[in-house]
Each structure stands twice: as C-alpha cells, then as structure tokens.
Amino acid sequence: MIQKFLFRFPDAKTISLVGDFNNWDANQNIMKKNDDGIWSVDVEINYGYYRYKYLIDSLFLLNDPFANMYIPGDNGELYSLLIINENGERIINTEEYNVHIKQYNICDRITEGVCESNKKSFNQTDEKIVCRLEFTNVTGIHSTSMLWYKPNNEFYYITENVLYASDDENNKPIIQWFWIDIKDGMPPGKWKVKFYIDGAFIFEDYFIIKPRGYVFNNGRVSFK
C-alpha cells in the first residue's frame, strides 16, 4: 500500500527518504518540496517493521517528527520506526510524550553547573563552543540534534544525543552538551546553530567567532 511521508525543512536543497524498505538508497525515494517548505514522497511499503530517516542535502540524517516511535540501533543511534500491519495500514502511536527545556546557554566549556553567562563571542584561541541544554519532565525516548552553520549559511557539522529518562528519573533534570572544537581555518563571523528534537525544529541561535588578531602590550605583540 502507498504510504505518504511529509517533512518540513525549508532550507534544504534535496531530501531523500532512506530506510530498511529501500536498503538506505538515497536515489530511490527523492522527495519534492512545495512552496511552504514541506517535502513529500509516496512510497509503496508492505507489511513489516522498518527503520528510516531523512537524508538532508546528502550531508546529515534527521528523524521523522511524525514517526510511530523511535528505537535505538546497535550503534546507539536513534531511528524512526514505521509499522505497517497486515492490511497495509500504518500503525500510529497515539501516546503523548513530553520534553521541557528548562535552560539553554552557550559557553566555552563542558560543565555540570549552569554556565556563568550566555557567551556570544569566541576567540580563535578558545578551545570549544558548547551549547548546554537542561531538560525536565522527559517522557519517552527522543533524538536531539544541533546543526552548526558557517557565516555564509553553509552547513558545517551536526552533533547528536539520545534523550531519555527512566520512570524514576523523569522529574530530575537531564543535561546535554553539544559542542564543536575551534580549529585553525574556521571562518570568522556570525555562526548559527539550529536545534531539533526528533527531527522537529525547536529554536535557532547565533554566536560570533572573532578574527585572529594581535594587540600590543608594553611593546610586545600577543595574539588573541
């Protein structure tokens, strides 16, 4: 039976649906975008259980916000799960799950405590750029993804985590870190991050990497 897939990602140039049903072949189920930035594709899929994801611009994978559920693979990565019954109907998981973002900061180190400030400007000599998120009231299992973009809006990197709380821990805060190392040759300017939960866009933010320069101090030249 024909199954329709819809995914909103306005900034993408190409999106392919990949999964167990097409041997993860990006050329089989290429999606089309409408004027609202929603991508779609119809695929004939028979009875069974299938893992799948969306391949964005042949660069990175995101889960489907409308998936029945999410399951971890052998590598610890979380996948969207499609379930088709014997009548060719998609089984829909109607249970509601919660995720609450209590706090978000950008800082230059990984810390259990709250970042002293929301740092927006980094030097080339800083070690890391770290996005710290604190979650509460977490139920279910979720994929969390931070996408990093260069000043020219070119995709740079994706950092991912699995968000989960056991029944006796769902009222306790959960902290996750998403970071990139500052390396030589990284272009200075205004960078952007976009945060997704289960493939659904949540928020975006920015930070600035300063150009490498030097200052005079008592007649000596030092880099900053």
Distance CA 136, CA 103 (A): 9
Going by their DSSP bridges, the two strands 155-164 and 141-149 should be labelled as: antiparallel
Q: Which CATH number fits domain 100-209: 3.60.150.10, 2.60.40.2550, 3.40.50.720, 3.40.190.10?
A: 2.60.40.2550
What does pLDDT average to in each consecutive run of 10 residues of the chain (224 residues)?
94 97 97 96 94 97 92 90 91 83 91 74 91 92 96 96 79 90 92 96 96 58 48
pLDDT of residue 187: 93
**Looking at domain 2-84, does it have CATH number 2.60.40.10?**
yes
pLDDT of residue 207: 96
3-state secondary structure at position 115:
coil
Listed by start position, the domains of the chain span 2-84, 100-209
Phi-psi map region of 59: left, alpha, beta (phi>0 left; psi -120 to 50 alpha): alpha
Is the C-alpha dihedral spanning 24, 29, 30, 33 positive or negative? Answer: negative
Distance CA 130, CA 4 (A): 37
pTM: 0.88
Q: Are 175 and 132 in contact (CB under 8 A)?
A: yes
Distance CA 138, CA 170 (A): 5
